[in-house]
Structure 1
């Protein structure tokens, strides 16, 4: 007797399945809806872990999303590509919606005034009265920052979105083992701890570590090249990035600051840009270097009269990944550097806490 398979037991072919299932919809999501989905999906797939101190480089993390796109496809894209703010912020904690990146006229760089400009900057750094933190004290850095968020694109146009300018405050102990970060809109309310048991290095420098670095520019640059070998897009780009990271959210002895600038001037491709503006709107002169792979130029901006460090800026120089030339990908401004007596304490509030 031949037993017939029931309909339930029979395997269905692809064609029959397609006939039985309803036709898929063709949803068209607005940009606001996309951003809402992104925020929700990132909160689901990212662990709610404390964010570290700022990345040692302003890394380019661009996600290209086609419009229209289904929620399932969007989820898959996010599962494949981890998207974070370059300043070390956690997407799960981000509450400020991104804004379209500003576009500026690209000013060419030149080596004509490089030597004299660097000497002015180094001399100003040597003459500055840098406070030295003692045991139990903290290095306080207050900045205004904006970093790349996401790139949205459809068939004929694209938008590069960045974080809106916002305040970031960091406290770090001289040994780098204790710290606190307050970045409203990008970290949990009240801030997060930056405590770490990891030893200090060029990748994660503490004040105590910086004091051990050579102040001879040639020896310093040799050490930077050696310890960052194999990192970044090129040895020269990595060396320039490393020096910049030591300037942004750290306090360094005056002699070392001067040596860092003189060492940077020896990196091939470094130029002077006559006009650049930091995140606080302060205009100055810049030392800059172009990342040949990503096509963006990192600029360290200095006051034109005092040659004090103001902040940094990342500007796209050539078209890469649909990012238009002149697009500002990141912008920072150091508003205050000080030594305070306690974590979360701000200058002018000594002994009161903050």
Structure 2
């Protein structure tokens, strides 16, 4: 348990304390943040209050007075429900803002670990209960430097395993050898293990099976992989070291050549709609006041399809071997911002020029 860090986080969030509560290990966040062993027996309610500055207090049942002994601070042992409530009332002063594993309107179910009745009880003491969601992730989600490195290394290894698998699948397709989801899944699992990672069973899903995000082929239930099929590969693993972080990726493959991949023609106005939707979603639709881009040829504003469903309704298809600008902008009264790259459209793919694209404003000093 990182008491100083918890109290610093409480200060930053302007909270008076963090009240951890659990009944029969129903609150895994409490166990993780407090570094509690889950091997012990927990059959009764317990509370642990970490005030923003004072010493923490544990409130435990007389039936299991041994629990929470690893935590710093004072201990109060209750025998009855009346004693439990009385001790809580002593600890919690009216008007305090206390974090608990609660999410208003159950907006984040991962954080809704304290039952509604317990929330009612704490509020009955004149306490403002706020969600611990933001503060908890400081201790649950932020990685150490070693963990960041473990994620990168795991990622490199499982991508390399994917590359080996894809080459093998290409060889087998060229040789007209039979393939199916389950045999490919098992081969992928072996490659991930041989890469020195600890994988879960990867997902290999063909065509309509890939429409089920959690589809998993089995020895009894799987589909063949044939020429012309679209295949989804979802794979994740971590290094075998304690505290190692997962890498988790999804790749798509086509059982054929790039020339055989079906392509849906794209109109200029469709690109504009997609781009504009991104800006609208964050509330700036009224400040994006021009088309997304224009055709480029021997003159800067060419006569091919523009990326436009705003100033005009350009339903022309983006043809192979054409070039256009992609330049969304947001123009506020105080300032305007625009980013622009160019796009070369080819028969089977596209190329961005003017790379690397700008990711942030460039300081000149």
TM-score by length of 1: 0.20
With CA pairs under 8 Å and 6+ residues apart, which has the higher RCO, 1 or 2?
1
Q: Which has the higher helix share?
A: 2
